[in-house]
Amino acid sequence: MQQFNVYKIGPEIKISGLDLSFTNSSLFMVLSATAIALFLFFGSKDKRIIPNKVQLISELLYNFVAKMISDTAGSKAKPYFPFIFSLFMFVLLCNMIGMLPYAFTVTSHIIVTLIMALFIFIAVTIIGFLKHGFKYLSIFIPKGVPAILLPLITIIEIISYLSRPVSLSVRLFANMMAGHTMLKVFGGFVISLGVLGGWLPLSFSVALTGLEILVAFLQAYVFAILTCIYLNDALNLHH
Amino acid sequence: MRRLLGCVIVIMTIGSDVIAAEVGMPQLDPTYWASQAFWLILVFSLLYFSISKFYLPKIKKNIDDRENKIKEDLDEANRIKNLSEQKLKEYQQILENSKREVTKILLDSKLKLDKEIQNIKEKIEKEIDSEVSKVQKEILIQKKDSINSINIISQDIASNIIEKLSGDKLNESSVKAVVEDISKKNIEKYL
C-alpha cells in the first residue's frame, strides 16, 4: 500500500488552515495534464492533409469522443464536448501514467474520483433544472409503472440518482486500487518464491499488467460514457 | 538450507509489509484531501481551458479542412470528368461530321469524274465516227476510182484481145460501152 501514499513535495502551503501543499499526487496530475497538452499540441500543430502519427492519434481520439457523445447524448451535448474530452483524456492519462513503475496513480484515490464525480453530478443536476425547470423531477417517475408501485419506484429512482456520484467515483477508484494492489501482491510473490518458483507469479504479473492497461483505458472510457449518459438524462428528458 | 532461510526471511518481511499496509488505506487518510482536491481542480480547469480554447478548435479545424479539401478535390475531379466526357462527345461529333463530309466529297467527285469520263468518251466516239465515215468515203471514192481504172484496163485488154484474135481494130467507143455495160451488170459482185 506504500504506492498509494501521498507525501509532500517542496514547501508547505497553508491557506486558512487548509494544507494545500504540492504532493506527489499533484505532481502526477501536472504530469498527466502536461502530457495531454504536449500530445495535443503536437497533434494539432501541423495542418496536413495526410496526418502524421501524433496528429492521426489525436484526431482519432477526437472522433472517438465526438462519436461517443453524439451516440449517447445526441447533438444537444455538443457544448459539453470539450469537458468530456478533457475528462476522458485526464482520467486516461492518469490511469496510464499510473501503470509506469514507481509512478503514482492519481485516480486510485477516492477523493480525486469523488470530486470529479460530484462535480459531474452537481453540474448535470444544474443543467437538468436549467433546461427543464421542475419538470426535471419527472426523471424520478418512470412511465408505464402501475400506480401502486409508483412510490416505491420513485424512491428507488431517487436513491439510484443520488448514488450516481458514489458509484461513478468508487468504480474508478476501486478498479485502479485493486489492479495496482494485485500487481503488487503478485510482485511480492515473485520475490518471495525466488528464482525457483517465482516464474508463475511473474507470468501472472505480466498478464495482469496487460489487463491493467486495458482496464486503465476501459475505466476512462466508462467514466466518460457514464458522464455522457447522465448528461443525456439531463438534456433529453424522455423517460 | 541457507537459501531456504533467506526465502523465509524475505517472505516474512514482505508479509509483514503487506499486513502493515493493510492496517491503514492511505486513501482514507484525510491529511492531503484538501491538497488533492485543490490541485485537481486547478490542474483540471487549466487543462479544460487549454483544451477547449486551443487544442480542440485546432483539431476540429484540421479535420474540417481535410474534409473540405477532399470534397473540393472530388468535386473538381467530377467537374473535369464531365468536361472530358463532353469533349469526347464533341470530338466524336466532329469525327462523324468529317466522315460524312468525306463520303459526300468522295461521292461528288466520283459523279463528276464519271460525267467527265462520259463526256470525253462521247467526244472521242464522235471523232472516231467522223474519222471512220471519212475514211469510208475515201475508200468508196478509191473503189470507184479503182473500178474506173479497172474498166479502162479491161477496155484496153478487151480491145487488144479482140485485135489479136480478129485482127481488126474495133471501135474504141463500142468496146468501152460493152465493158461499162458488163461492169455495171457485175458491179454488185465487186463492191
More confident residue, B166 or B38: B38
pLDDT over 90 at B7, yes or no = no
Is residue B46, in this structure, part of any structural domain at all?
Answer: no
Distance between alpha carbon A23 and the CA centroid of its chain, in Å? 20
Q: Give which of A48, A69, A111 to mutate to test B binding, by max B Cβ within 10 Å.
A: A111
Is residue B48, in this structure, part of any structural domain at all?
Answer: no
Helices (H), chain A: 24-45, 53-73, 81-98, 110-132, 150-162, 164-197, 199-235
pLDDT over 70 percentage in chain B: 85
pLDDT bucket at B175, cuts 50 / 70 / 90? confident
Look at B55 and A41 and tell me if their CB atoms are within 8 Å: yes
Closest CA to A200 of A213, A179, A211, A186: A186
**What's the mean per-residue pLDDT of chain A?**
90
**CB contacts, 8 Å: B56 with chain A:** 62, 81-82, 85
Is residue B64, in this structure, part of any structural domain at all?
Answer: yes
Is residue B137, in this structure, part of any structural domain at all?
Answer: yes
Beta bridge partners of A23: A8
Q: Give which of A2, A3, A4, A6 to mutate to test B binding, by max B Cβ within 10 Å.
A: A6
**CB contacts, 8 Å: B34 with chain A:** 18-20
For A198, name the nearest residue in chain B, comparing CA atoms only: B7
Domain edges within chain A: 2-235
Closest CA to B31 of A23, A104, A105: A23
Is residue B86, in this structure, part of any structural domain at all?
Answer: yes
Is residue B103, in this structure, part of any structural domain at all?
Answer: yes
Q: How far apart are CA A56 and CA A26, in angstroms?
A: 30
Is residue B49, in this structure, part of any structural domain at all?
Answer: no
pLDDT over 90 percentage in chain A: 55
pLDDT bucket at A46, cuts 50 / 70 / 90? confident
Helix axes B56-166, A53-73, angle to 10 degrees: 110
**Which triple of cell numbers denotes residue A121?**
453530478
User: Number of structural domains, chain B?
Assistant: 1
Find out whether B32 and A74 touch, Cβ atoms under 8 Å: no
User: Which pLDDT value is given to residue B190?
Assistant: 63
Domain range holding B185?
A: 54-190
**CB contacts, 8 Å: A23 with chain B:** 32, 35-36, 39
CA angle at A214 for the pair A212 and A216, rounded to the nearest 5°: 70
| ipTM of the complex, rounded to two decimals | 0.89
pLDDT over 60 at B18, yes or no = no
Q: How far apart are CA B87 and CA B69, in angstroms?
A: 26
What is the mean predicted confidence (pLDDT) over B53-64? Answer: 90
Q: Residue A19 in 3-state DSSP?
A: strand
**Which triple of cell numbers denotes residue A13?**
502551503
